[in-house]
Amino acid sequence: MTDWLTVAMPKGRIFEEALELLRKAGYNLPAEFDDSRKLIIDVPEEKMRFILAKPMDVPTYVEHGVADVGVAGKDTMIEEERVVYEVLDLKISECYLAVAGLPGYEKKDINPKVASKYPNLATQYFKEQGEQVEIIKLNGSIELAPLIGLADRIVDIVSTGRTLKENGLVELETIVPITSRLIVNPVSYRMQDERIDQMVERLSRVVEGEEA
């Protein structure tokens, strides 16, 4: 399989958009992608193997070289700090990271708590703001934390803003805009530079709105 390319794809909300992008770039991906619980899908015609991972784990697979390339959110890249090349902004799954809390929130001096699934990113952000906070790591449904008194604020992704709104929370600070990126293992880039360059080129044409 040395001339095959292994691609780590994020399961969940980025998946469909990433799939659409690859198809528009001319990759012939079977219907199996749209309706399957398989975690590894081989596409022999393209000499490609796709692995379907948790979004936060994609940079880990790519850093370890078990995937040559991957699609990862900028949020995961900031949080995970993996040694991979970020070669293309795919401009999909646009959203942003924000600090949110209950309306009328006022900063507390004593033991402020922030819940997030991005503990490293949140720690870094509050350090830069010169504010000392305790970060509480959660794995999802972060918006629950201020509602039941686990934390005063949260650091989380805002996409449509619906989750905040429907749970009576408000955005307090915007941290950084987020999109998905194509990432590459540095060794794979040396060994398979032509194939990877071609993939970047094909995808960038679609991203820039030209035909593949």
User: Which residues of the chain form contacts with ligand PRP (CB under 6 A)?
Assistant: 13, 140-143, 156-163
Q: Which is nearer to ligand PRP, 46 or 171 (CB)?
A: 171
CA dihedral 85, 7, 188, 80 (to 10 degrees): 40
Question: At its nearest, how many Å lie between ligand PRP and the CB of residue 197?
Answer: 32
Nearest to ligand PRP of 103, 130 (CB atom): 103
How far is Cα 139 from Cα 148, in angstroms, rounded to an integer? 16
Strand order in the sheet with 113-116: 134-137, 113-116, 153-158, 95-101, 170-178
Cβ at position 179, least distance to ligand PRP in Å: 15
Q: Which two tokens stand for residue 58?
A: 């994609």
Provide the minimum distance between the beta carbon of 55 and ligand PRP in the complex, in angstroms, as a whole number.
Answer: 8
State the residue number with the nearest CB to ligand PRP.
Answer: 140
> What is the greatest pairwise CA distance in the chain?
61
Quick one: DSSP state of residue 106?
Answer: -
Determine how many CB atoms are found less than 10 A away from the CB of residue 156. 27
Which C-beta is closer to ligand PRP: that of 14 or that of 62?
Answer: 14
Smallest gap, in angstroms, from Cβ of residue 11 to ligand PRP? 11
Alpha carbons 9 and 7: distance in angstroms, whole number: 6
Cβ-based nearer residue to ligand PRP, 132 or 159: 159
Structure tokens belonging to residue 152: 């005063």
If the CB atoms of residues 37 and 162 are measured against ligand PRP, the closer one turns out to be 162
Minimal distance, residue 95 CB to ligand PRP, in Å:
7
